[in-house]
C-alpha cells in the first residue's frame, strides 16, 4: 500500500516536520511504502493536482494549517473525483477542531486524525493496510480519529498525549527529513506550561521533553549535515532553564556552521542562561520573544502570565550582553487594548531597540500580527462574550473589537507592514535612531502608515522608491529643524544599502550639496587596502560628506567624510564596508 504524505507550505523555504515524523512512525509496517511531497500554496492548482494524481497513492494524507486548509480541501475534492479509490486523511491543527462540520461539508475526506498524530496514524495505516474500513476502523483505532461509516460520521475518543516522546521514531535518524532546505524544523519538547487564550498550544498544558540523549543525537545529525538554520518549534523552549542550558551547551560544543532559532519566554531567563549566552558567537542564536501586549490588564484578560518588567529587563540584557538576535512579537486586537494602547505597547518594544543615537536595531526585529481567533482556542469564547467581529474563513483575522474599529485595525495592519520594511529590513537604522532622538517612533509609524495608505502605496516598493517615499513623508510630517538631520541620516542609510549611482542620485541626496573631494581610485586605495577583498570580486567606492560622524558612539556633530566600499561577487551578494576618511 502506498501512502502519500503531503502539505502546502506558505513559502518555499518552509519545511515540514510533521510529514517525516508520520513517515518514520509508519516504518516497519508490512507492505506499506510512504512518499513525502511538499508544495506551496502559491503553485498553480492544476500543477498540484497532477503531481498528486501521478503518485497513484492508495492513501493521501494532508497536514492542514490556517494558511493551507482552503486550498487543501479543494485539492482533496479534485483528487477524489479523479481517483475515488484513494483514501483521504487530514490531520494537523486546522483539521482537529470542528471535525463533524468539516467532514459533512467535504465528502471527499474519508478520515481525520485529531491531535498528536504519530501513534494514531500508525494504527490507522496498519488497519487500512489490512483492508479495514468504516466502523472497523474505530474498532482498531481506539482513539484520535473521526471517519465515515456508510452515511454516518463516527468518532473515537480523544487520544491521550504521548508521555514518553522518545518512543516517537526520529525522522532524522531515519533519513526522512529534507535537510537540504535552508530552514529545518526541529522539536525537543511538546506542550506549553502557559495558557494564553489566543494560542492553540494553551490546550496542551502537559509539557513533555525528549531525553537529552535523543536530543544530542538528533541535533548532532543536523549540525553534522551543516543545516543552515535549525528552527526549534518548542512552544516555550526555556520552560526549564536547566534543560535550555543543557541543549545550548551541546550546540556550543558541537556546532559547525548552523544557526538556531528558539521561541523563548524572556522573563524565565536565569543568570546561568546569561552566563552561557554570553559565549554564543554573534548571530548564531535568534530568540523569538512573544510580548503580545505591553498592557498588564490585557495580558491578564487572555490568561497570559508574563512578568513584563523582568521580561523587558532581560531583553535589554540580551541586547547589551550577548550577540543573540531578538525578534519581538506583538498581537494587536487583544481584549482591552485600544489604538493608543497598541501604540504604547509598540513604543515599549521600540524603546528596547533605539536608545539614544546608537544604532542598536540591527540585532532586533519587531513583528506585529493581527489577532487570529483560532478554531478551538479559548479566544473564541472571549470573542463571543465581547462581541468581536472576525473573519469566518482562515486565518480568522480580527475585524473589529470593542476597543478597535475596523479602520484602526487597518491602520495597525499598515504599521505592521511598514515596520517590516523600515525596521526589520535593517536598511534604515540611522534614520530610525535619528528620529527616535526627537519623537516616539510609534507616532512616526502611525503617521507613516496613514501616509502610505492615503498615497495608495503597496508593500512592494523598490528600494529606491522606498527611500524617496520615506523622504516625501518626512517633508510632510517632520518640523523644519528636524528635517536636515533626517536627510543626513537617510543619505547615510542609502549609501549603506546600495551603490549610489552619481547619475541617478535621488532628489533628497542631490539637494544636500555636501562636500565631495579626493574621490579618485588612488585617493581611496590606501583605505581599501585595509579590507579583505576576495579575488574575482567587483569593487566600487563612493565617498561622501555628512553633518555628523555616524560611526562614533555617541554620534559627533560636525562634518565627517566617509568612504563606502561595495564588494560583490556571484553567489556572495553585496558587502558594504564604510570607513571614515
Which spans of this chain sit near ligand SF4 (rule: CB under 6 A)?
192, 194-196, 199, 201-202, 235-236, 290, 304
Distance in Å, CB of 92 to ligand SF4, minimum: 17
- Among all chains, which residue has been given the C-alpha cell 507550505? 9
- Nearest CA to 353 out of 322, 387, 326 is that of 326
Q: How far is CA 93 from CA 4, 97, 313, in A?
A: 19, 7, 34
Q: Count CB atoms within 10 A of the CB of residue 437.
A: 13
DSSP string, 528-558: HTTS---TT-EEEEEEEEEEEETTSSS-EEE
Could you tell me the smallest distance in angstroms from the CB atom of residue 233 to ligand SF4? Answer: 10
Torsional class of 174: left (φ above 0), alpha (ψ -120 to 50), beta (otherwise): alpha
Q: Smaller CB distance to ligand SF4: residue 194 or 452? A: 194
Q: Which is nearer to ligand SF4, 69 or 302 (CB)?
A: 302
Could you tell me the CA-to-CA distances from 199 to 45, 190, 237, 290 in Å, in that order?
30, 14, 16, 12
Q: Which of 578, 347, 323 is nearest to 441 (CA)?
A: 347
Smallest gap from residue 344 Cβ to ligand SF4 (A): 20
C-alpha cell at 415: 504599521
Determine how β-strand 183-186 pairs with β-strand 152-155.
Answer: unpaired
* Between 265 and 565, CB nearer to ligand SF4: 265
Q: Residue 223 or residue 334: which is nearer to ligand SF4 going by CB?
A: 334
d(CA 474, CA 482): 9
Q: CA-CA distance, 383 to 198, in Å (whole number)?
A: 10
CA–CA dist 222, 247 (Å, integer): 14
190 or 304, CB closer to ligand SF4? 304
Length of the chain: 581
Question: Looking at beta carbons only, is 304 or 427 nearer to ligand SF4?
Answer: 304
Q: How far apart are CA 448 and CA 568, in angstroms?
A: 33
> Shortest Cβ distance from residue 339 to ligand SF4 (Å)?
23
Among 579, 563, 559, which residue's Cα sits nearest to residue 518? 563
Tell the smallest beta-carbon distance from residue 268 to ligand SF4 (Å): 10
> Least separation, in Å, of the C-beta of 290 and ligand SF4?
5
Minimum distance from residue 572 beta carbon to ligand SF4 (Å):
37
Q: Which three cell numbers stand for residue 247?
A: 541543549
Task: Name the residue nearer to ligand SF4 (CB basis): 88 or 192.
Answer: 192
Q: How far is the CB of 541 from ligand SF4 (least distance, A)?
A: 47
The distance of closest approach from Cβ of residue 324 to ligand SF4 in the complex, given in angstroms and rounded to an integer, is 18
Distance in angstroms (rounded) separating the CA atoms of residues 517 and 578: 16
Cβ proximity to ligand SF4, 234 vs 408, nearer residue = 234
How would you label 274-310 residue by residue, b for 16+ Cβ within 10 Å and e otherwise? eebbeebeeebbbbbbbbbbbbeebbebbbbebebee
Q: Considering the complex, what minimum distance in angstroms separates the CB of residue 271 from ligand SF4?
A: 22
Query: Mind giving me the DSSP string for 320-381?
Result: HH---EEEEEEEET-TT--HHHHHHHHHHHHHHH--TT---GGGEEEEEEE-B--TTSTHHH
Residue 329 vs 450, nearer CB to ligand SF4? 329
Q: Which is nearer to ligand SF4, 371 or 496 (CB)?
A: 371
Nearest-approach distance from CB 386 to ligand SF4, in angstroms: 19
What is the smallest separation between the CB atom of 318 and ligand SF4, expressed in angstroms? 18
- For residues 70 and 195, which CB has a smaller minimum distance to ligand SF4 in the complex? 195
DSSP 8-state symbol, 58: S
Burial tier of 410 (Cβ tally within 10 Å: 0-12, 13-18, 19+) = middle
Please report how close the Cβ of residue 113 comes to ligand SF4 at its closest, in angstroms. 22
Pick the closest to residue 431 from 418, 422, 442 (CA basis).
Answer: 422
For residues 236 and 446, which CB has a smaller minimum distance to ligand SF4 in the complex?
236
Q: How many CA atoms lie within 13 A of 307 on its CB side?
A: 7
For residue 205, the minimal CB distance to ligand SF4 (Å) is 9
Mode of pairing for the β-strands spanning 33-40 and 2-9: parallel
Shortest distance, CB of residue 240 to ligand SF4, whole angstroms?
Answer: 14
**Cβ closest to ligand SF4, residue 290 vs residue 341:** 290
Please identify, using beta-carbon distances, which residue of 251 and 302 lies nearer to ligand SF4: 302
Distance CA 224, CA 508 (A): 50
For ligand SF4, which is the closer residue by CB, 205 or 275? 205
Amino acid at each position: 500500500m502506498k501512502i502519500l504524505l503531503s502539505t502546502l507550505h506558505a513559502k518555499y523555504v518552509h519545511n515540514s516536520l510533521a510529514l517525516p515524523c508520520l513517515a518514520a512512525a509508519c516504518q516497519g509496517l508490512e507492505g506499506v511504502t510512504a512518499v513525502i511531497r511538499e508544495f506551496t500554496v502559491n503553485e498553480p492548482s492544476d500543477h498540484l493536482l497532477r503531481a498528486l494524481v501521478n503518485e497513484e497513492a492508495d492513501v493521501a494524507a494532508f497536514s492542514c494549517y490556517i494558511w493551507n486548509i482552503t486550498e487543501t480541501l479543494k485539492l482533496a475534492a479534485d483528487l477524489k473525483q479523479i481517483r475515488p479509490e484513494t483514501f483521504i486523511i487530514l490531520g494537523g491543527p486546522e483539521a482537529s477542531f470542528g471535525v463533524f462540520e468539516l467532514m459533512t461539508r467535504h465528502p471527499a475526506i474519508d478520515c481525520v486524525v485529531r491531535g498528536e498524530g504519530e501513534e494514531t496514524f500508525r494504527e490507522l495505516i496498519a488497519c487500512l493496510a489490512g483492508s479495514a474500513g468504516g466502523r472497523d476502523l474505530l474498532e482498531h483505532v481506539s482513539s484520535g480519529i473521526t471517519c465515515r461509516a456508510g452515511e454516518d460520521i463516527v468518532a473515537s475518543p480523544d487520544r491521550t498525549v504521548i508521555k514518553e516522546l522518545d518512543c516517537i521514531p526520529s525522522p532524522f535518524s531515519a533519513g526522512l527529513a529534507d535537510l537540504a532546505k535552508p530552514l529545518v524544523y526541529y522539536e525537543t519538547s511538546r506542550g506549553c506550561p502557559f495558557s494564553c487564550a489566543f494560542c492553540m498550544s494553551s490546550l496542551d498544558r502537559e509539557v513533555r521533553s525528549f531525553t537529552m540523549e535523543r536530543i544530542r543525537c538528533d541535533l548532532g545529525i543536523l549540525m553534522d549535515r551543516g543545516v543552515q538554520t535549525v528552527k526549534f518549534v518548542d512552544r516555550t523552549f526555556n520552560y526549564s532553564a536547566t534543560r535550555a542550558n543543557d541543549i545550548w551547551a551541546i550546540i556550543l560544543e558541537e556546532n559547525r556552521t548552523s544557526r538556531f532559532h528558539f521561541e523563548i519566554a524572556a522573563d524565565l531567563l536565569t543568570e546561568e542562561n546569561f552566563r552561557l549566552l554570553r559565549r554564543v558567537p554573534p548571530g548564531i542564536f535568534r530568540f523569538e520573544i512573544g510580548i503580545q501586549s505591553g498592557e498588564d490588564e490585557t495580558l491578564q484578560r487572555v490568561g497570559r502570565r508574563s512578568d513584563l518588567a523582568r521580561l523587558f529587563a532581560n531583553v535589554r540584557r540580551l541586547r547589551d550582553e550577548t550577540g543573540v538576535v531578538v525578534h519581538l512579537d506583538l498581537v494587536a486586537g487583544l481584549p482591552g487594548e485600544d489604538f493608543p494602547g497598541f501604540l504604547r505597547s509598540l513604543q515599549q518594544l521600540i524603546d528596547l531597540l533605539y536608545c539614544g543615537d546608537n544604532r542598536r536595531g540591527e540585532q532586533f526585529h519587531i513583528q506585529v500580527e493581527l489577532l487570529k481567533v483560532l478554531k478551538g482556542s479559548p479566544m473564541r469564547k472571549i470573542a463571543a462574550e465581547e462581541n468581536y467581529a472576525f473573519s469566518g474563513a482562515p486565518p480568522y483575522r480580527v475585524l473589529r473589537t470593542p476597543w478597535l474599529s475596523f479602520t484602526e485595525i487597518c491602520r495597525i495592519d499598515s504599521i505592521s507592514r511598514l515596520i517590516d520594511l523600515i525596521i526589520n529590513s535593517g536598511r534604515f537604522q540611522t534614520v530610525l535612531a535619528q528620529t527616535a532622538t526627537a519623537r516616539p517612533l510609534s507616532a512616526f509609524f502611525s503617521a507613516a502608515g496613514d501616509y502610505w495608505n492615503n498615497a495608495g502605496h503597496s508593500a512592494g516598493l523598490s528600494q529606491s522608491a522606498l527611500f524617496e517615499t520615506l523622504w516625501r513623508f518626512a517633508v510632510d510630517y517632520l518640523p523644519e529643524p528636524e528635517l536636515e538631520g533626517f536627510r543626513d541620516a537617510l543619505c547615510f542609510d542609502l549609501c549603506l544599502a546600495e551603490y549610489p549611482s552619481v547619475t541617478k542620485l535621488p532628489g533628497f541626496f542631490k539637494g544636500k550639496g555636501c562636500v565631495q573631494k579626493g574621490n579618485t581610485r588612488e585617493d581611496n586605495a590606501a583605505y581599501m587596502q585595509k579590507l579583505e577583498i576576495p579575488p574575482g570580486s567587483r569593487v566600487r567606492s563612493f565617498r561622501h560628506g555628512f553633518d555628523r560622524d555616524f560611526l562614533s558612539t555617541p554620534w559627533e556633530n560636525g562634518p565627517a567624510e566617509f568612504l563606502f566600499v561595495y564588494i560583490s561577487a556571484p553567489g556572495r551578494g553585496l558587502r558594504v564596508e564604510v570607513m571614515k576618511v
